Every structure is written in structure tokens, then in C-alpha cells.
Structure 1
Amino acid sequence: MLVRDMGMDGIRSFLLFVLLLLLRACFTISADDTLSKGQSLSAMKTDSISSNGGQFELGFFERGTPPKFYLGIWVKRLVGQRTVWVANRENHLSDPYTSRLEFSEDGNLVLLEASSKKPFWSTSLPNLPSNSTEAALLDNGNLVLRDRSDPSTLFWESFDYPTDTWLPGGALGIDKTGKVPKQLISWKNSEDPSPGLFSLSLRIDPNGSSEYILEWNRSQVYWSSGVWDGKAFSLVPEMSLNYIYNFSFVSNENETYFTYSLYNASIMSIFLVSSTGQIQQLAWVSSVQSVQPWSVFWARPNSLSDVYALCGQFGIYQGNTSQPCDCPKGFEPFSDNQTRLNDWSGGCLRRQPLQCENRNAKNDWFQKIPNITLPISWKAYSAMSVRRCKLVCMNNCSCTAYTHNSSGCLIWEGALLNMQRPSDGGKVGQDIYFRLAADEHQISTKGTKWKVWVIVAVLVASTGLILCLSVCFSIKRKFKHKGEMATSSNDLMLFDLSTETHAINVGTNIQDNDKKRGKKDVELPLFSYESVLAATDNFSTANKLGEGGFGPVYKGKLLKGKEIAVKMLSKRSGQGLEEFRNETTLIAKLQHRNLVKLLGCCIEGDEKILIYEYMPNKSLDFYLFDLAKKKMLDWGTRIHIIEGIAQGLLYLHRYSRLRIIHRDMKPSNILLDSEMNPRISDFGMARIVGDNEIQANTNRIVGTFGYMSPEYAMEGLYSIKSDVFSFGVLLLEIVSGKKNTGFYNHGSLNLLRYAWELWRDGQSLELMDSSIGYPSSTSILVRYINIGLLCVQESPDDRPTMLDVVSMMSNEYAPLPTSKQPAFTAGRKLMHTNPTVNSVENCSINSVTVSVMEA
């Protein structure tokens, strides 16, 4: 009857309306829990699908400023829509108008943005029945990709890839089939779901017992649940009183994991690794409608003070829940926006850079920070005075803080972690001294200028007295100098190696005409020839360590038992007094723990002798390229040697009184002391350049092939980047235990090419010396190989400075630049010259090098 009354036009309109409704039903998302091929979820339209029971919802959400968009699952019916899973947590979307979730041609779920050619996230499964897959959100919050014709066949499920939340029915454990382990990783902060620093994973010991552990940066364990006794974990007593969930342990040939279920469906309970580093059990009771927030049933560790490195580098935990961390004086938060969200992963940064040992700048100083729980990873020096402790730290460019207590001297190098201000009744703190820049000292003294006037008044009153004393001292010194001219040398046998000052200004009578020209005295002790003879047992053959182009080297011994190395300049070397004096002056001005130490010299008649500290462990190549001895260099020792060499080169390039380019870095020039600390030696080819001088040119190219940079070997151009290249070769040799020159493997002509090919193919671990065993952290090994390849790049402009290298090593979590193909040089240990100059045979410029220390 209705159709008859509508007439023909009305019927056409009605049929068109019905057709539109049918089309919309086919191409839009229905209210059910599935997503089929041909359908999509749009971020712009805020499309979503809900589980059958309405408990969970899958869709898009935004976080942060500016907003970033993510695909996730949240608990739908609760206040706050707590997010329990995020698909693209490492790759956020930025354009909601073109972002969508859909099926690809091969049947996989893909998350796309129109401006990008690659998916932001995908299930990435091979060999799917592309025409019969569908996605479904189950009542337990598990998103699955399944066969539409047989829903029990699951191809993929989100429970296999949890983020920070463990839902009932989900599994958390170890997959033995080689898939990604099922672990929880915290959000970075409340506004950033990207992976944070804290994770919860299952650990199984050789005895077969299982426990959960919380880790910082997936490397440092700071909490354990205790072992599973069949009902609960031993260190979580709340589990034995639990009435909410039931835990189950499953172990078979494919996987080992725990899962849990809820006793009461009206209670919603989940486990969460928070961005502040705690594992928490959260509960929500549905009978309280939607006004009751989530409550924390229990949390571990109990206190945030037990969370490892919660406040990042140089941050101090102060126990305030609203702002748990603070920065010490002279530092500021890495990011105000992140710390506002209690994200202190970036820690604190210095307001002013340190000057270290740059003699042309103002000295660093130490600020006392009272009552601090000491940070981790210190170096202890027993039986050392407070003054000496401070001096040791000041003379070490890497030292950032020190303290002195009943145990002796403790110093810290690099970033400081885990500092706390003890609360009442808590741990007892100690005073620690932070190294700060001179500019910070000026800021700290601002507002106290009135003290300066007091000091000026005292100085003016004492000036007259000082002038009088100076005149008297000057007169007395003239008479004293005449006496010193008669006794020009000290007794080497009585020399005290334990003196704190290395450079001793002694008046010498090396050349009277030097005095007339106004030249400065050599700042080295001058020893008598007789005392040198006594120390070396008249240069006996038994004490001879070796011989090079410069002359022989002997082992000596002082009266107090200290051992020295005595190097004689051969009379046949043709070197004069001026060259010898220049060499001693250069080395005397270099004072660093990773440089060989020159103790003094002897000049009598035609004899020119240098006295060095004795290195009992010889040189690096003595161990590195010997099949038996290289086993003594474990991975920790090799890292220690690499970092020491880097610190020594950084001092030469940046912080020494003179800016020095070594020009001959190789394993034989790295000496090892009794504690295997590396000491750079052989400054016979070193060159001094100005602070503003980028590079220099030489007509005489001297050095060792395999370690020379291409611009130096081919064009005679050298700079600090030449040393960086040599350091890169040296680093790769230390990691691999193989020489760069004379290396043939898999068609590679040298070690650099071989390392590059492995790096390019993602097989860098094959470069590792097999004698190392299995290092504790392969990521650090790969990082060091990456740094080595950055150092040996073809262009000097592409190579980092040694300051950059030290920074890369000390901050192992900072991303590294991509290395370009290195310079592939092949050759042999030989001298090379420019076409305009003749070849030479001696590697030493002045024949007083120190590379050969063993027979």
C-alpha cells in the first residue's frame, strides 16, 4: 500500500536510499570485533573495533606536543582508557588525515601514512592465505590475525609482542624457537609510548629455577622476583595472599613462560612496568561503575630509590614523589619537557664545558656536594692523602668527581649514576667533590665581591715586605747559582719516583751560549753519568732490553728497588745537542697517565741519555699478535687499552700545553705498565702545530704503512685526523687480533676491507678475536667496530675528532653516525716519500724514539 501511494518517482528515490545504505554497510566498519580485507581503520575518522564483550577497543590515539599518533588497544569501559598495547611505539604517525590500518595484498595487517612509501607497522608474515585472513579483537584484549574460514587458526597475535602491560591470558617468558622474547618494556614517559629504559623479563638459571628480573637498559639487573616455588615468587609475598589471579607455569621444547587468569571476572587486574622503573599490579573493580581509578595492589621495588639510574647521568634522587630527581650545582636537566613528566632518562648536563688540562685556559675546580650516597663504578686508591687524591683526579681528563674516606681515595670517570640524598633514617651519605668548569666558579662567587676588597687590602699591605724579600732572594740566588755550576747533576740512584711533581726545574750548564741567548732551562732532572752506570750495572748485557736506530735500551734499578728504562743515543746517529734538547723539552711538557713518562736525562761529554719509567709488560704487539699471549687480553682489558689510547691522543690533540700530532700510532708504540694501562710512546716523529692550524705539509713522509692515513701517505698532508685514522686501524686490530698489513682473508687485501665487508653484511661479530671468548655485551663490541670504521674513512673531514671518539665511547647509548667506505691501503712497513724527496730508512727523526722496549 505504501509503495502504491509513492508513485514511480518515490519508488526510485526509496530504492536509491536502500542501495546507499547497503553500500555503506559494505565499505564501512561495523560495530563487531573483526576487520576484513577491503575494510580499514582511519585515524582521521577515529575508527575503531571493540571486543565482543565490549571490554577492549582497538583504534588510534594521540600523545605529546606536538601530537603524535599511535595504533593501540585500551580498556574501553574504564575512566582514562588505559592503553595496554601499542603497535607502532617505535615509529609514530604524524599525519592523522592520511593514516589508516588496512590489509595488504599478501594478507598482512599494515599501518600506512600516505606521505610514506613504507608501512609504519606490519604483521609481516610470509605465505599467508591472502584472501581469507581477518583481524579480530578478542575479549581478553588479544588482537589476532586468523583464518576467516577457520577462526581457531591463528597466524599472529599481539600477546606475542607485549609492550608495557601484561594482560590476563597473556604469556611472558622465553621463546625457544628463535622469535622475539616476550618481555615488558616501559613507556619512555606518560606522553611517549616509545620503549623506555626499564624492562621485565624471565630468567632461567642452570638449575632450572625461574624468576622475573627488572633491568635497566636491558643490561643492568636491579630487582628480582625470587624463584618460583610452585605457588608464588619468593620475594613477592603479596602473591601468597592474592585472591585476584591464578598463576601457571608452562615449559616445553618450544617455550617457557608464565601466564595467569582472574578468579573474578568483575575485577580487572593487569601487570605494568611503569616509566619510573617499577613492576606494578593494578586492579579495577567493575562494581564501582566508572568513577574508581586504577589502584596499585603492589609494586616492586618498594621505593623508587632502589630503581637503577632513575635520575640518569649526574642526576640526584631526592625522594620527592612530585619531583624525584634534581641536578647538582653546575648542571641542568637534559630536557625541561621530559623532566616535567618525571622522565629523567636524559639526566643532567653541564652548563659549562670542562677545560681539563688546557694550560691556556682557566683551570677546572671542585665543588663539594655534601651528604650524597656515592654513585657506582668508582676506582679505589688506598693509602693516598686527600691532596694527592684531588691531584690524581685533576690530572685525569676523564675524572669527573672524587671523595676521600676511611677506605682511601675514590675517583669516578665519565657519567655518574645512582646518586641519592639520604632521607631521615636512611642510608648515610658522604661528601663528594664534583669537577666543574672555571666559569661555574665565577658564577658561584658572584655576590661576594666585597671579599675581593679585603684581599686587595691585605696584598697591598704585604707588597712592601714581598719586594724586600725578593731582593734578598735574588742576591742569594746569584751566589747559589755559582755553586750549582760546580755540581750540575743529581744522583739517579737516589731519585724518588713517588714525587708528585713530574717537571723539576733544574739549572744546567748544557751550553753557556744558551744562557746568553736567553733560553729556558730544561725542566727535567739532570743525572750524573756515574749514577746511570751504577743503575744499569755498567750497561751490562744482561740488562739490555733491545736496540733500535737511536741506540740501545737498558733496564736499570734504583736503590729503593724502582725499575727504570735507560736509553742511550748512539754516537753514530748523527744527532746533535739541539735535536736532543728539543726532544726532551717536548716530552717533558707532556704529562698524562696514558703517555710514557720521561724521568730525566744525562748529558756528559758525548753521552746523551734519556731515563724513562720502566714498562714491565712491554708493548701491545707483544701480546696482540701472538697466538698464545693474546689470550691474556680479555675483552675487558682490550676495552681498557682502547679507551686509554683514546684519552692519551685526546690529551695530545686538545689538552696538552702543545698541540701535538703523533704521526706513528701502532701497537709497538703502545707500552703496557704493570696493570696493563696503555702508555703512548715514540715521539720521534711527533710534530707541534698551532691551536688554529688545521693541517701541515711535509716533504719527508715517515711512518708505517697500514697505519698512515691516505692523505699523508699520498700527499704528505698531516693533521690530527691522521692520528685518528691510525687510531681506527689500531682499534680494529685490537678487536680482531689481526694485523692490518699482511692480512689475507676471504679475498680481502687488508683488515680494513675485511671489517667493512663484514659491517656492510651485518656480520660484524665475525671480526672478533676468537681468543676473547664471548663478551658480556656484544652491542658494545659492535659499537667499537663502528667507531673504528668511522675513524678510517677516506676523507679527513668525515672522520671524528678524538674528542668525538671519547664521547662515543663514554656514552654508549648515543646513536652513531653511518660510516662511509674506509680508505683501503695495502703495503708493507716501509718508508715512503713524496716524488720530490729521496726515501729514507730510519723511522725516527732524531733517533730517540721509544718504540722498542724488548729484545
Structure 2
Amino acid sequence: MRFPALVFLLLLCRFYSPFSDATDTIKPGESISGQRTIFSAGGEYELGFFSPGSSKGYYVGIWYRKISVRTIVWVANREYPPFSSSSYLTINNEGNLVVVDGRMSITVTSISISSPVNTSTATATLLDSGNLILKDENSHILWQSFDYPSHTLLPGMRLGHNVKTGHKWSLTSWRGTTDPGPGDYSVELDPENWRQFSIFRGSQRLVMDLNGQIRQFSWLEDTQQWNLFWSQPRPQCDVKSLCGPFGSCNEQAMATCQCLQGFKPVSSEDRNLRTYNSGGCVRQSPLRCETSNPEMLEEDRFLQMDNVVRFPENNQSSAVGSADKCRSFCLNNCSCNAYTYISGLCFVWYGNLSNLQQLPEGQSAEQILYLRLSASELPQPRGKKILLGASIAGGVAVVVLLFSFYFCCQWRRRLKGKEGQTGQNLLLFNFDSSFATIGEHRDESNFRASESKDVELPLFSFSSVSVATDGFSAANKLGEGGFGPVYKGKLLKGQEIAVKRLSRRSGQGLEELKNETMLIAKLQHRNLVRLLGCCIEGEEKILIYEYMPNKSLDVFLFDPNKCEVLDWGKRARVIEGTAQGLLYLHHYSRLRIIHRDLKASNILLDSGMNPKISDFGMARIFGENKSVENTNRIVGTYGYMSPEYATEGLFSIKSDVFSFGVLMLEILSGKKNTGFYNSDSLNLLGYAWELWRSERGLELIDPMLGNPPSMSLSLRYINVALLCVQETAADRPTMSDVVLMLSNELVALPSPKQPANSTARSLTVVNSDASRPGICSINNVTVSMIEGR
């Protein structure tokens, strides 16, 4: 009995025999299973079974064979993985590739034969292009994997649509990091515009990523890692409907996607919408019009959302006459979930709200959205803004008007009669009208800004500031910049302050003070210094800030006796915090701000060594519809200026990115940018580039740090810094890109190009414009020069 059974097993094994030798082809009667694979003739690609991460399923996939990191580029059975390790891949009698799991057979291919062929002789071959082809005995291709891309587009693959056959070539993301099943996102030819490709949700090596981004990678042999060459869309919140219905996207928050106020995730397991296949959010409490007994509930109300960066899509507009009528129009339609009123037009949203983007809590934007909620869902804590009925609002307006008139009179009397009070007065900057005059000094009457918003700022008397600083004593002097000296002070209530006093000899003046006061009073971010008030009396022009006990970054960074305080963790925190502050200025603040003078001495440190960007005297408001502006007034600091700004007066958000890159290299190395570091390098940029190019990048790291916690992380930081200081502005990343690259180690980095101003030759270019002599300052002092237009 044993002998016939053994013969039977031997025959069976021969019929479905794994390969004894490596080959690129599966022939009739052959199979692959377990660790058995085939690979292309040149050894470029390999095909076999894989089980990603903690997944219990077994998938047939193709990956790069010569690359140390297994990178899957194609998956055969994405939707139906077997759960048995004894599953095998073979060719059945119909000529199709099938995955067999016990008695179940999963068809991988579905060949369409227009003329009779002998499918029993079909073979499957893996080519060096990564294409798996199924062909008959006459080498006619019956099927090929390139016609069915999964999440990766290899050279030779196509994206598009066959009008005759209806076949569509598209990419679809994975369902999760360990689940190759079809995910939520796909990139395909837009059915409404066949001249462009679009990324949809639900319906070299390009990868359709889990978060809805399409990315192009190239493999770097020297670093043994994938290099991100290109990606779109770059900000994650630009991915269409990333957070699902009634979800809000916020790139600065810990969780990018969150449910709107009054809503909860569709799935109880989907907290903060962190899963990639999120179904979005649903109401926690139904609207009054949706219930069977509406008389039992209060009328629905609207939550005023001040921090909207991007409105939801698919709005409808109409001219209804007023904001009150717009509100009523939405309230009287049960399908209306939100509205806003802009320039005489009423915009309403029906059904699901999707693609909404917000700023973090506590920050404001120019756009306001009124979200419809059940009365029970309205937030009650003080400070939340609830849109009430017109009758209540009218009554409140009358009361506010009376109190405003009373306090205005009291304020004017107090200002004329008392100069010793500290911080009791409010200086109201109304940006629609002229600046309110103070006393007899009317030279400030043109203090304006480009935005129709009011900023209330405490007004300090000169006598109170003098008392707080002990008469501006030398013992209280913290330092001095281009604006003038800065003193430490203490208010009557014990609060410590930093007092910035405009020097009469300063190259800066009232214009810079007005600029800094207007900008910083309107900016609210944890990585920006906070302005507490100002003093304008006679020729005295003073700004009062929160006090930073650890002064500025340069005090520690460039002092051999203090630099040890800045360990790796603190330096990383300074880098990341400064990046977040710049990202807010460029992208999330009510005004789009270009700082133009970012440097170590303008990064202040609080008691926890957390960074705060300061000195906005040189900052400029940047138009939303502009990518670059030109000025004849070159301001800033030598060593931190981008080349296009120093030589041509062109500035943009990429100018700040350049300065940030210089600052980042200084933090990593503990060296100033200016000065020679070896015979071939003009400055720190050139020195860093030479080390990077010769694969000695770690030598740049400050020796005082000892061994960094991670060599790969150190090299990553240097890579990001070098990307920021590239010669051409277009090559530099945005601060959104920088924050992403710093915070996510899984994001592959592009290879940097040679930095600007890194050689003696580039120095000649910077100083070649004879019409702009002396436009730069030394490393720790900012000056400006005004030239005729």
C-alpha cells in the first residue's frame, strides 16, 4: 500500500513541481509556492508570494530583486488573498494564471481569445521591464500585467483609456500599510476632461500612496534608499476629500483629519479619522427638521467658524440681499448644512461637506463658515461664537454701542490726565481709517495695513516703561540690533517684559515700527514672539514683548562655553519649531508674511528652550496671487540672503526657505555661515556641500553633540537643509514640504543641488551689482538701505 501511494505523490509533485533551478518562466504543470520565486532574465525583478507586515494573507507580487529593501511594484490577487502558506500559483487548463488554495482557485488573469489557440501550452514569463506576460506556443501575448497596474507605474506602463475596448489603465492605492487591497484613492484619466489626469477618492517609479498622493521615486545605490523625486499634490490637505464627509483637514494638528464640531466618525474604531479608508463623519444629534417631533426641539443654529482656510466643495450661490436673509434661506432648507455671505452673495452647501480645510484651534483666517448644528450641539464655554437670532443680535448691538461710547470717553480723559498707568489703555488700530492721533503728535496718522480688521493693543506710557526698565539702565540691557537696544523690564504686577526702544541713530524708523506692530499684533502662534503693547510719545517709539529668559539662539549656539546646553533634542526642537512658525507665516496666518530677516539672533528661546521667531520690522505682506515680488530696498543680513534677493531684489516664500536652510546648517554644525572653513569653501554652505558630495556628511555635525542618536536622522536633517539653500528658488522646497520631511522619516528626500554662494566665484556674483553697495550687514546686525526708484 505504501509503494503505490508514494508513486502517486511523486507523480503529483512532478505535475505541480516547484523550480529546481532559477528561471523566469512558469510552464504548464509547474507552480511556485512558499519561498519559491521566479526572476527576470537579467535579475531585475522577482515574482513570488509575500505577506506584508502582520497580514495573514498571502499575495502574489512583483518586486525589485537587486534592491535590498523589498519594494512591491505589482500585486496579482489584491482582493482575494489566500490564508494558507501551502497556496501556489500555476497555469490552469484554460490557460489562465490561478492561485490555488486547497479546493479554491482564484483567477489572476482573464484572457480574451479572438481566434482559436491552444491555451494548454500557455507560459508565463517575467521580463526585465517588470512586465509579467502570458503567451501561447507561438509567442502571442494573451495577457500582460502592464495592462493592469496596481499602485505603481513602471517605465513602459500606461495610464489612460481605450476608447474602442473600454479598457482603463489607472493606479489605485493600497488599503493600508499591511493591506495591498484596493484603497480609497486612484489616479486616472478624468472622464470630464480627457486632457488631464485626476486623483479620485472612492471611484521612473510612480506610486499611488496611501494618503492620496502620487509620488515619483528613484533608487540611490550609494545610500541604499528610495529618493523622492516628485510628488503631487504636495500639501496633504490638497488631496481631494482626504478626510471624508464632514471631516476637516489641518496639517498642523497631531491628527490631520478631525470631525467638525457636532459630528463623530462613522466608524467607532476610526478615532480622529486616522485610518486611510475613513468614511468621514456623521451628526451626533439630528437637526430639528429631521426629527418626527420638531416641536420638541429648539430651532437649529449656526456655529461661526473663523479658522476656515478652504471652503467645502460644491457650493451654490445666489444674491439674497443680506446676511440675515442668507441665514434664513439656509435655515428654511433642511438639506442646507452650511452657509457664508461674501460681497453680497449668499453661498450655501447642501448634503455632505467635503474638502474643508481649517487652521488650528485659536487661529483665525479671512474666511468664515457658518455650520448648521442642532441647538444641543452648540459649544457653551466662554469664547465660542454662536450666531443668534436677529432680534437678540440687535439688542446686544445697542448695549455694546452705549458701553463703547462710555468707555471711549473715559479712555480719552484717562489718556490726557494720567501718564503713570501701565498697560491700562488700548491702542486701537483700525485698518479702514487713519491711525488715531495721540496727544499732539500727528505724524503717525498714516499707520495702516492692507486688511480691514481691528487690532487692539495695550498702550503704555513712556514713564511706566521707564520705571519698568529702571530708567533703561545698562544693567537691564539685553542686547542691540538694527532697530535699537532691547531692555529687560518688570511691570507693576510682576510680569517680566522685553522692551525694544527705537534708536534715533537707527537705520530703521517709524516705518519699520509700524510694520512690525501691525504684523505681529495680528499673528498668533506658539513659535512667534508675542507683542504685549507699545509706547508712542514724542520721539519715543517702543515695543513691549513677552520676555524670553534664554535670550536668543546665537547666544548659545556660537559660544563655546554655552553650546553644550543645546543637545541634540533641543536643537531638533528649535529646527522643527522654527519651521512650524515659518509655515504659519507663509501659509496659515491671516496675512501671508515673508519675514526677510530670519537668523539665529532673531530666534528667541523661552524657559523651555522652545524657539520663537522675532523681529518683524523687515517683514512684508505678500499677495496671495503672486509667486514673487521685486523691491529696490534690499534689507537683511549677509550670509542669510537668498541670491535672487541679494542681487535682483526678488523675494518670495523661497527667500525665507533659503534663510531657514542656512540657519539649519548653523544649528547642526555650531558654526556661523560666514567665514572660510577650508581652501575650497567660501562659507558653511560650501563646506557642507563638499562634505555631502564626498559622502562625509556626518563630519558636519557639531562635535559637542557627541554621537547623534541616529546617523540616518542626522543625514536627513543635512539633506533637508541643503535642499533649502539651492541656487534656484524653484528647486527649493516650500515650508510645508520641509515640515513634512522633518516630521515623517518615511518620506523619501530628493538629492540636493549645489548651494548658492558656496564658492568664491559665487561671491563675485553676489557683489557684482555696483548699484547696490553695502546692501548686507554682518552676521548679527540688520541694516537697510533705501534707494531711488
1:589 corresponds to which residue? 522
1:58 aligned to 36, 40, 60, which one? 36
1:7 corresponds to which residue? none
Q: Tell me, yes or no, if the aligned pair for 1:701 and 1:831 is still in contact at 8 Å.
A: no
Q: Tell me, yes or no, if the aligned pair for 2:497 and 2:547 is still in contact at 8 Å.
A: yes
Q: Tell me, yes or no, if the aligned pair for 2:19 and 2:36 is still in contact at 8 Å.
A: no
The question of 1:794 aligning with 2:721 is answered no
Q: 2:360 & 2:16 partners in 1: Cα distance?
A: 68
Aligned length: 503
Unaligned runs of 5+ in 2: 1-13, 77-89, 92-123, 133-175, 182-254, 260-265, 280-303, 313-358, 379-384
Shift of 1:508: 6.0
TM-score, normalised by the number of residues in structure 2: 0.53
Encode CA deviations 1:558-612: one digit per residue, 9 max, x unaligned: 3343322222222233766455334322332223221222222222222222222
1:43 corresponds to which residue? 26
Q: Tell me, yes or no, if the aligned pair for 1:670 and 1:680 is still in contact at 8 Å.
A: yes
1:70 corresponds to which residue? 47
Q: Tell me, yes or no, if the aligned pair for 1:71 and 1:87 is still in contact at 8 Å.
A: no
1:8 corresponds to which residue? none
Encode CA deviations 1:499-526: one digit per residue, 9 max, x unaligned: xx99999976156757988969873222
> What SS does structure 2 have at the residue aligned with 1:572?
coil
1:498-577 pair list within 5 angstroms: 509=438, 513=442, 523-573=456-506, 577=510
1:486 aligned to 416, 421, 437, which one? 416
The question of 1:394 aligning with 2:361 is answered yes
Q: 1:801 & 1:717 partners in 2: Cα distance?
A: 17
Q: Name the CA shift for 1:188/1:519 in 2 (closer, same or farther; >3 Å).
A: closer
1:91-110 pair list within 5 angstroms: 91-92=72-73
Shift of 1:554: 2.1
Q: Tell me, yes or no, if the aligned pair for 2:75 and 2:180 is still in contact at 8 Å.
A: no
Q: Name the CA shift for 1:777/1:478 in 2 (closer, same or farther; >3 Å).
A: closer
Shift of 1:845: 5.9
Max radius of gyration: which structure? Answer: 1
Shift of 1:656: 2.1
Q: 1:699 & 1:82 partners in 2: Cα distance?
A: 62
Shift of 1:789: 1.9
Judge which range, 629-638 or 767-776, deviates more: 767-776
Q: 2:693 & 2:558 partners in 1: Cα distance?
A: 26
> What SS does structure 1 have at the residue aligned with 2:636?
coil
Q: Tell me, yes or no, if the aligned pair for 1:489 and 1:526 is still in contact at 8 Å.
A: no
1:114 corresponds to which residue? 127
Q: 1:682 & 1:783 partners in 2: Cα distance?
A: 29
1:774 aligned to 707, 718, 737, which one? 707
Q: Tell me, yes or no, if the aligned pair for 2:681 and 2:758 is still in contact at 8 Å.
A: no
1:741 aligned to 651, 654, 674, which one? 674
Q: 1:189 & 1:112 partners in 2: Cα distance?
A: 27
1:334 aligned to 259, 270, 276, which one? 276
2:399 corresponds to which residue? 469
Encode CA deviations 1:524-563: one digit per residue, 9 max, x unaligned: 2221222222112222222222334433322222334332
2:613 aligned to 668, 680, 683, which one? 680
Q: Residue type of the partner of 2:361? A: M
Q: 1:538 & 1:606 partners in 2: Cα distance?
A: 16
Q: Tell me, yes or no, if the aligned pair for 1:553 and 1:567 is still in contact at 8 Å.
A: yes
Q: Name the CA shift for 1:562/1:832 in 2 (closer, same or farther; >3 Å).
A: farther
> What SS does structure 2 have at the residue aligned with 1:817?
coil
Aligned CA-pair RMSD: 5.3
1:656 corresponds to which residue? 589
Q: Tell me, yes or no, if the aligned pair for 2:564 and 2:705 is still in contact at 8 Å.
A: yes
Shift of 1:663: 1.3
Q: 1:60 & 1:568 partners in 2: Cα distance?
A: 75
1:198 corresponds to which residue? none
Q: Name the CA shift for 1:747/1:831 in 2 (closer, same or farther; >3 Å).
A: closer
1:613 aligned to 546, 562, 587, which one? 546
Encode CA deviations 1:636-669: one digit per residue, 9 max, x unaligned: 1111100110111112112223222111211122
Shift of 1:444: 6.5
The question of 1:442 aligning with 2:371 is answered yes
Q: 2:675 & 2:473 partners in 1: Cα distance?
A: 37
Shift of 1:726: 1.0
Q: Name the CA shift for 1:112/1:554 in 2 (closer, same or farther; >3 Å).
A: farther
Q: Tell me, yes or no, if the aligned pair for 1:358 and 1:657 is still in contact at 8 Å.
A: no
Q: Name the CA shift for 1:536/1:687 in 2 (closer, same or farther; >3 Å).
A: same
Q: 2:596 & 2:511 partners in 1: Cα distance?
A: 22
2:138 corresponds to which residue? none
Q: 2:701 & 2:29 partners in 1: Cα distance?
A: 51
Q: Name the CA shift for 1:358/1:764 in 2 (closer, same or farther; >3 Å).
A: farther
Q: Percent identity?
A: 49
Shift of 1:722: 0.5
Q: 1:609 & 1:525 partners in 2: Cα distance?
A: 12
Shift of 1:728: 1.1
Q: 2:526 & 2:427 partners in 1: Cα distance?
A: 12
Q: Name the CA shift for 1:464/1:556 in 2 (closer, same or farther; >3 Å).
A: closer
1:696 aligned to 629, 642, 650, which one? 629
Q: Tell me, yes or no, if the aligned pair for 2:595 and 2:619 is still in contact at 8 Å.
A: yes
Q: Name the CA shift for 1:362/1:845 in 2 (closer, same or farther; >3 Å).
A: farther
TM-score, normalised by the number of residues in structure 1: 0.49
1:90 aligned to 43, 48, 71, which one? 71
Q: 2:645 & 2:675 partners in 1: Cα distance?
A: 20
2:687 aligned to 745, 750, 754, which one? 754
